[in-house]
Structures are given as C-alpha cells and as structure tokens.
Structure 1
Amino acid sequence: MNEQQKRSTWFWVLIGGSLFALFLAVVVGLAYAIVHTASGGQMPSLGAGLGAGGIGVIDVDGVILNAETPVDQLRKFADDNSIKAIILHIDSPGGGAAASQEIYEEVRRIRSEKKKPIVASIESVGASGAYYIAAGTGKIYANRASIVGSIGVIMEYTNYGDLLKWAKLKNVTIKAGELKDAGSPTRDLTPKEAAYMQGLVDNMHTQFIEDVAAGRSQTAAQIQPLATGQVWTGQQALPLHLIDSIGSFRDTLLATAKQVGISGEPQVVKPVNKRKTLLDALTSPGDLFPGPEKLLERNVGFYFLWR
C-alpha cells in the first residue's frame, strides 16, 4: 500500500468513526425522548392560582444559541397581569451575539412599554452575552463568587485545510465578490479578509458597550475600560457598578416581591416547557440529522461568549 492509499484509508476511518459516533448520539437521543414521553410532569399554566400575584422566573442557562424561547416566555409574562415582576435567573457564559442582543432588546421593550419590573439574578456565571441580557434589566443581583462581565466579542471557526491536503482532497469554490468566501474553513484568511472580519467584531463590540451603558445608565466611556473581555467575581463587580447588589436568588426573589407589594412568601411561576416526544424526534429528523445547510452555519460564528 503506497503513502497516498494509506492517507485515504485513514481519512475514511475518521469519517466512519464520526458516523458511528453520530449513530450512537441518535440512539441516546431517541432513548431520552422515549423516557421523557413516558414521564409528563409539566408545571402549571401561567397565572393559575396566583391570588395576590406571583413572580415570573425565567431560567437563562447554558450557551445562548436561540432567542425564540426566552423572548416568547418574556412576552407571555409581560402580558399576564397576575405576574407582578419577572426575574431572569441566569447561569450562562453567553452565546450567539444576535440571540443575546434580541433577548436584551425584549427586556428593554417590556420595561419601557409594559412598565413591569424585570431583574436579574446571576448564579454561578453571568458572562458575555448573558451579562448583555442582565444589563437590560432594572437591577442585577449576584453572589459574591459569581462570575460577571466578559464584555467582548469572539469569532472562531475550525480550519481543516491541512486535513484536506493530507487526504489529497481539494475544495472547489466559484464565487462572485472578493469577500464572498471570507472565513472559508478550507484555507487561511488573506490580510484583507482578516481586516474585514476584525471590522465586524469591532462593530459588534461597540454595540455591546453601548447597550450595556444604556442598560446600566452609564456612558460608553465609563464602560469602555471594563470592556476587555475579562471577568470579575460578584464581589469585585459591585464597586465597578456592573451589578447592583450582592445576594442569592432567594434574596432577589424576596426583594423583588417587596418592591411590587407582595407580602409574605411570593409565589414563583415558571413557564411551561414543552418537552420533546418520540413523535417529535421522528417527525423532525432535521433535529437529529442536520442537513448541509446546518453544517454550513457552523463555519463561522460571532459570539458574546466567555470560555
């Protein structure tokens, strides 16, 4: 077997291993769906049995990739008169730039139009895009050891050009427009493309700074020195005016209830989350078997994300 045949053999071994891993992921996903189909357990509907009113709590956890669910939850709570205030319970390193920004805008809109109090409670992490969202609320609580900040933007992708060369494969691109394939994972950036990408990142960074400044009632000049991408503990963030108070989620809950005139133990209301069933998995194969368009989406990403 010559060297080229050996390389091709190893390449297809890698491909086969990846497909087998995907198959295992599908099996596990289907098993998970079956278990959760059998066990119901959804929370009560919004506004059920609230009496004097309740506090709506929306969990913002994990990497933020899509704004649809939290925005929908915010709107439902905003339109429900039995919900007196909303708490964003945050434990997230951030995520997609546009998704984080969309949630921030919805928070600001509800506060402005509905006049309904929205506060943030940061648990372990409220960084980058998650901090972006928190900055849109009326007050930010965090624990002393919470991770807060990371006002910065990152763009990244995997360049597998050398792997293609090793496997004796070639990428063929036909384009109209010099920068149309900027960020292609099959080759290095040209100096012009690097400057172009840096310009996009810098523009998003400016938007991040301006929105945090607006949400925190400060100027962009005040936020700029803090916009290095670094994080602080909650204890460090307080004198920097990145948060408003040191406190746990319960501290946040009780203080918010008092703010809106709820005496005693406030009733916590969480959105009803529709669980994926086996039928959903079978009728939406795109969720398990992403098509070429989904793979293309992963080439380049702009993130408000702390790692």
Structure 2
Amino acid sequence: MTSPSSDYLLDRRRMRRKLGYWRLAAIGAGLLAALIAVSKFSGVESLDKGSPHIARFIVEGMITGDRDTLDLIKELEESKATGVLLAIDSPGGTTTGAEAVYLAFRKLAEKKPVVAVVSNIGASGAYIAALGADRIFVRGNSLVGSIGVLAEVQSLYKGLDMIGVKVDEFKSSPLKNAPNGFEPTSDAARAAIMALIEDNYAWFKGLVKERRGLTDEELAKIADGRVFTGRQAVPLKLADAFGGESEAVLWLEQTKGVAKKLPIRDWKKKSKLDQLGILGIASSALRATGFAQLAAALESVLEPRASLDGVLAIWQGPRGY
C-alpha cells in the first residue's frame, strides 16, 4: 500500500482547519442567538425599567403617529419613570402624525414632567412634538422651527405625453383624486389643496403661539417656514435654553423634584426587526460572525421605509446642508 502524498496530507489539514473555523463560527452564532433570546424574552429590559428612573424617549426619523409609538407613550404613563427626556432628532413627518404625538406627550406631561432636547434637528412635525414638553433645550447649532406645511404632487403628464401614454379617469366629480399628476392641476384643485394647507398652517401657528406664549408680532417673525439655529431660536422664544441631556436632567432635578442621580433608561419603539424575534436574532448573529452584508440585506427587506402620504410638516433642507 502506498503512503498518502504530501499534497494530499496538506489538503486534509486545510480542510480540517476550515471545518474547525465553521464549527467555531456556528457555535459562536448559536451562543450569541441564545444570549439575545434570553435578554429579549426573560424580561431583563422590563425589570430594568421597573425601578425609578428617567425615561429617554427617542423621537427620530419620520413622525407618522404610528400605533407602536403611541402605545409606547401610553405605557410610559404608567411606568416607574419619574421624569421624561424627549431626545429629538427629526425633520418632521405628517401633520396628523405630529398632532397625535404632541397630544400624547401633553397627556403624559399631566403625570410626569417632560423636557425636550433637540440634538441635530427638530423641525416642522418634530417641533410640534417638542411643543408637548414643558421645556425645550437646544444646542447652538441645532436646527429648529420650520413652522409651515406642504403638499407635493409629481407632475407626470408631460413625460407621459412624450412616450405616448395616456391615463383615462372616470370620477364622480372634478375634484375627486385631484391633483393626481396625470393631468394639469386645475384652478379648482389648486384652491382646494391650498385651503387644506391654510387650515393646517393656522392650527400649527396657533399651537406655537399658545405653547410658547408669543404675541402676534413675535409669531410673525418665526412662522414663515424657515429653520433657525439654536442661537437664533432661544431669543426668538422657539426654545427655552441652551444645553443637552445633562442640562435637561438638572432642570428636572431642580425644578420638578426628580431625585438626583437616577439612571436614564431608553424608551424606543421596537423596530420591525426586533418584533420578528428569531429573524432579528439571525441578523445579529450574521453581523457578529462577519457577514455584515448579508445581515444588511436581510434588514433592508424587514425594515421597509415609511410612506408619507397626506399633508406634511417636514423640513427638506438643501442637499449637503
């Protein structure tokens, strides 16, 4: 019998190393998944919030007033939190969504002191949310304001004409589904949309005037849709003071009787990834074992971007700002 060649032996060693690596990776992924599952399903997070603390409620991204957010605010009302810190970093969202979040924060403020801190941006609908707090802190370079509303329709009819596509509509009245982008916007449709805009705008201005204690003259200076830096916002009464989280916590302690040195706990709605349980664990395991691109692909499927329909209260800054 001939002895195995040196090349064969080398190949066998390489194969053993590869198998060993994949076994270790599989064991590591399994352990990580088990740890994540224990933390998610053993109630560790809920126990962490079961003692007095300051709740950090995170307001970021597009504000739509979704049920998960409103339920979380409701849950916060009955929690052991003795004060609430709204951490705001959002350009806004829908006017109805911002209104719902604002009203929920005002109801929360009836039971617990609420303070808002704007980090990068708290504009339009996010500023409406901030108005739900008892006090607003900003950084010098934070962007706040953008008091105004908008509605957008993509005009497609000229492009469709160029390629020979025509959309036939059958509707009960001229203003049904108007404007729609498939035909020129009529004067009547334009007037109807502007009536909606003006009504939302009047409500927004009235809310700012009431919550910030402004005169008509003071309101007129800030209600033209522009954003302001924090340095501009404080003297204009859009915000109360300069500062961040530490200043907001100090304010809660000194003026609202919140105990000193309480831990700060994050209150943030679960993402779709978290809600899917095992798939979320799989994504975390993929990242931990070096498959970040595969994890990102999975997350992109599980976390679709929110759709913003209706009248918007959102700041759309210039590119690169």
Q: TM-score range by the shorter chain?
A: 0.7 to 0.9
Query: For residue 20 of structure 1, what is the aligned residue in structure 2?
Result: none
Q: Which amino acid aligns with 1:57?
A: R
Instruction: Give the 3 Å change call, closer, same or farther, for CA 225–205 of structure 1 in structure 2.
Output: same
* Distance (Å, rounded) in 2 between the aligned partners of 1:164 and 1:102: 38
Q: Which of 256, 259, 266 is the equivalent residue of 2:262?
A: 266
Q: Does 1:301 align with 2:310?
A: yes
Deviation at 1:228, TM superposition (A): 0.3
1:230-272 Cα shifts (integer Å, max 9, x gaps): 1111111111111011001222123223434344422112236
Counterpart of 2:174 in structure 1 is: 178
**CA-to-aligned-CA distance 1:104-130 (integer Å, 9 cap, x gap):** 111122224x3x211110001011110
| CA displacement at 1:47 relative to structure 2 | 5.8
- For residue 190 of structure 1, what is the aligned residue in structure 2? 186
Residues 110 and 46 from structure 1, CA distance in 2 versus in 1: closer, same or farther, beyond 3 angstroms? farther
**Residue pair 1:123, 1:249 contacting (<8 A) in 2 also:** no
- Aligned CA-pair RMSD: 3.1
Give ranges in structure 2 of 5+ residues lacking alignment. 1-28, 281-299, 317-321
Q: Distance between the aligned counterparts of 1:65 and 1:161, measured in 2?
A: 30
Query: % of aligned pairs identical?
Result: 27
User: Which amino acid letter does the alignment assign opposite residue 306 of structure 1?
Assistant: W
Aligned letter for 1:83?
A
After TM superposition, the structure 1 stretch with the greater mean CA deviation from structure 2, 65-74 or 184-193, is: 65-74
Partner of 1:22: none
Equivalent of 1:140 in 113, 136, 143: 136
Determine the structure 1 residue equivalent to 2:288. Answer: none
Aligned to 1:44: 45
1: CA distance, partners of 2:113 / 2:178: 43
TM normalised by structure 2 equals 0.72
Residues 192 and 104 of structure 1: is their aligned pair in 2 closer, same or farther, counting only changes over 3 Å?
same
Residue of 87, 90, 95 corresponding to 1:89: 87
Q: Do the aligned partners of residues 272 and 153 (structure 1) sit closer, same or farther apart at CA in structure 2, a change above 3 Å counting? A: closer
* 2:73 corresponds to: 74
The letter of the residue matching 2:200 is M
Please, which runs of 5 or more residues in structure 1 have no aligned partner? 1-33, 282-286
Q: Find runs of 4+ consecutive structure 1 residues off by over 4 angstroms.
A: 278-281
Which letter does structure 1 place at the counterpart of 2:185?
A: L
Cα contact 1:209–1:227 (8 A) shared by 2 = yes
State the aligned residue count: 258
Aligned mates of 2:83, 2:219 — CA distance in 1: 28
- One-letter amino acid of the structure 2 residue matched with residue 303 of structure 1: L
TM-score (normalised: structure 1): 0.75
Q: Distance in 2 between matches of 1:130 and 1:221?
A: 23
Deviation at 1:66, TM superposition (A): 3.6
3-state DSSP of counterpart to 2:122: strand
Q: Tell me the residue number matched to 2:103.
A: 105
User: 1:288: Cα distance to partner?
Assistant: 5.8
Alignment deviations for residues 151-189 of structure 1 (CA, whole Å, 9 cap, x no partner): 011111222222322332221211112211212121221
Tell me by how many angstroms 1:58 deviates.
Answer: 0.8
Q: Are the equivalent residues in 2 in contact too, given 1:182–1:189 (CA < 8 A)?
A: yes
| CA contact 1:67–1:100 (8 Å) conserved in 2 | no
Highest Rg: 1 or 2?
A: 2
Counterpart amino acid of residue 250 in structure 2: L
Structure 1 window deviating more from structure 2 (89-98 vs 267-276): it is: 267-276
